[in-house]
Amino acid sequence: MPMPWLKELTRKALKDLEPYKPGKPIEELKRELGLKEAIKLCSNENPWPLPNSVIEAANSAIKEINRYPDPEAYRLRRAIAKKWGVSPAEVIVGGGTEGILYTLFQAILEDGEEVVFPFPTYPLYGVAALAAGGRCVKVPFEDGFAFPMEALKAACTDKTKAMVLCNPNNPTGNFISRHDLLDLAAYLESQRVLLIVDEAYADFVDDPSYLAGLDLFREIGKVVIIRTFSKAYGLAALRVAFAIAPTPVVDSYAKVRSVFEVNTIAQRAALAALAEDKYIEEVREKVIEERGKLFSALSDIGLHVINTTTNFLLILHPASDEIYDELLKEGIIVRPGKDLGLPNSLRVSIGIPEENEQFIVALKKVLKRVEGR
């Protein structure tokens, strides 16, 4: 029996909100098109095998899944604090970057308070703010995807509670200069606006001018730096991330966080992964090498490619939607930029060499069909 009143339960602020669209799963594509094999280059995951120590830690933790996980993530928090040179009281452990943001916004936002961020960027910033009763203020990037530093400052009002920066940014792949980031952080502090920096892709930056969030935290102090185990560390399926934040922010977060947000397997695997510095450096070097090769291959085809300091590249093309659909038929999953607020583009994750080579072969076939090359 129809119950029209149920449709009215959704908060008005969420009525026109589009759900976040993650990258298409491999198994979904296989089911839809009857494919036996497919390559996933849409979610910026680490495609290389994990260290044995991480696998062993995860396997060992399976024996304890009949018990609730440590709600404080005691060992993991202390390992993070030791590695990054901060106090455990300045560390948050949560269920992925979005999990931390959802909880953080619930802790700090009053109804109607604003969260400012440049656009396009990771869509879940806006979703998390709206879910907590806040309002989103999107500031468009300047030409060439330059960060709109002055416009970001001008967007702050007496209702602004926080600003979120993805640095390097997803999907544009660029980062804020050291000078601009320090200047913006100082300005926001003077306005009593909390700066939140999402560093999901920081491990792949090879530019010495990049200002790491930890250095920003040490210099400014009143900022929140979020790091994930989903990218370089290769734990995307386990949903675990951490934030370094001022103690009052950590205390506020603790008031509303999910009690058992990070499961035992995730905690143990992340703890083991933290000790694998050599592995992380090897992954970083492989990504940078493959990123360069893929950029050259795409440029040689004649495509407009945006090079990045991340583990993905950005292709700008007016027929991006058609190219995306045709690549699916070839068993290649990339990310349509329109899902990330950037139409006429495709975001391509850096895969292992064989995946990147197969992508180029498939793309050439697709471009012949789409452009008549």
Q: Where are any strands of DSSP class E within the chain?
A: 39-40, 91-94, 114-119, 135-140, 160-166, 194-198, 223-228, 241-244, 304-306, 312-316, 332-333, 335-336, 345-349
The tokens for 132 are: 């907590």
CATH of 52-275 given 3.20.20.140, 3.40.640.10, 3.10.105.10, 1.10.10.1100: 3.40.640.10
The C-alpha torsion from 126 through 169 and 91 to 247, rounded to 10°, is -70
pLDDT at residue 220, rounded to an integer: 86
Segment holding 106, helix H or strand E: helix 96-108
Report whether the peptide linkage leading into residue 171 is cis, meaning its omega lies within 30 degrees of zero. Answer: yes
Contacts of 70 (CB under 8 A, 6+ apart): 264, 267
The tokens for 85 are: 């040179």
pTM of the model: 0.95
Tally of CA atoms within 13 A in the half-sphere of 101 that contains its CB: 30
pLDDT at residue 373, rounded to an integer: 60
What residues does CATH 3.40.640.10 cover in the chain? 52-275
Identify the DSSP state of 39. E
- Rounded to whole angstroms, how far apart are CA atoms 233 and 53? 12
Cα-Cα-Cα-Cα dihedral sign, residues 95, 216, 286, 276: negative
Encode 334-352 in three state secondary structure.
Answer: CEEHHHHCCCCEEEEECCC
- Rounded to whole angstroms, how far apart are CA atoms 353 and 340? 26
Contacts of 261 (CB under 8 A, 6+ apart): 94, 95, 99, 103
- Contact of 341 with 121, CB cutoff 8 Å: yes
Supply angle C-alpha 267, 273, 274, rounded to 5: 90
Q: What is the pLDDT along the chain (373 residues), one digit of tens a residue?
A: 567 788 788 888 888 888 888 899 999 999 999 999 999 999 999 999 999 999 999 999 999 999 999 999 999 999 999 999 999 999 999 999 999 999 999 999 999 999 999 999 999 999 999 999 999 999 999 999 999 999 999 999 999 999 999 999 999 999 999 999 999 999 999 999 999 999 999 999 999 999 999 999 998 889 999 999 999 999 999 999 999 999 999 999 999 999 999 999 999 999 999 999 999 999 999 999 999 999 999 999 999 999 999 999 999 999 999 999 999 999 999 999 999 999 999 999 999 999 999 999 999 999 999 987 6
| Residue 160 main-chain phi, psi, to 5 deg | -80, 125
CATH of segment(s) 20-49+278-371: 3.90.1150.10
- Rounded to whole angstroms, how far apart are CA atoms 352 and 362? 16
What residues does CATH 3.90.1150.10 cover in the chain? 20-49+278-371
